[in-house]
Structure 1
């Protein structure tokens, strides 16, 4: 299939498919006499795998390692499990950071309701964000 057909089937722009091909996430397409890329039927499932892996939070480099393992004849399941376990740890850490940020923002909002904007000095820039509450 031509790149436009593949792009339509995958719901991706043609540019993305070309990018994935350059990064080695897709096998290089055969070229027709006209120079157009002709992708075989195995490319669409590969694209869907890349999309699923990205949706799970894997980077393109991580996805590449999975594809490389499979390409070398290895079953990548344990590697994928390790990657997604790491992602879960990262997500949980981000959630903690976001919860802390949420608390800090609530404090700042409460501060903003108590402070008078007329009390702001040029040195403070904005007394809501000043380190010392006045």
Structure 2
């Protein structure tokens, strides 16, 4: 199939498809006598795999190692270990995001709970000291949890 048809089916721009081809993520295709690329039918599902993997946080380099290798197909152990690594990265990211959220909620609470009559500049100091204390407690707890 030609690149325009492949682009229409996948929803990708032809330039993106050419980029994936140049990057070695999809098989290079021979050009016909008229200069058009002719892609195999499996290019559709390979492109869908690539875009799905990108949407879940895989880099193009990581994707390169997860795609099936020609006629050999998938390298089972490498595929499973790569997927498990990504799950671990997502877990770590979720933990960092949860800590960030807690800190932001603490700052919001401290700002909204400003004591009556305390000037904003003084309250800023109070908020920063409270945040530093919470961060120090979090680091101490992380050290103890090891």
Q: TM-score range by the shorter chain?
A: 0.7 to 0.9
Compute the displacement of 1:51 (Å). 2.5
Q: Over the residues paired in the alignment, what is the CA RMSD in angstroms?
A: 2.6
Q: Which runs of 5+ in 2 are unaligned?
A: 131-146
- Scaled by the length of structure 2, what TM-score is found? 0.73
1:80 maps to: 79
Give the whole-Å Cα distance in 1 for the aligned partners of 2:65 and 2:39: 22
**Following superposition of structure 1 onto structure 2, how do residues 37-116 of structure 1 map, counting pairs within 5 Å?**
37-67=37-67, 70-71=69-70, 73=72, 75-115=74-114
Q: Does 1:8 align with 2:8?
A: yes
1:119 maps to: 120
Compute the displacement of 1:91 (Å). 0.8
Compute the displacement of 1:109 (Å). 0.4
Aligned partners of 1:56 and 1:84 also within 8 Å: no
Aligned partners of 1:111 and 1:128 also within 8 Å: no
Q: How many residues align?
A: 128
Give the whole-Å Cα distance in 2 for the aligned partners of 1:50 and 1:43: 10
Compute the displacement of 1:90 (Å). 0.8
- Scaled by the length of structure 1, what TM-score is found? 0.78
Q: Which runs of 5+ in 1 are unaligned?
A: none
Q: Does 1:132 align with 2:129?
A: yes
Compute the displacement of 1:66 (Å). 2.9
- Bigger shift: 98-107 or 52-61? 52-61
SS of the aligned residue for 2:69 comes to helix
2:19 maps to: 19
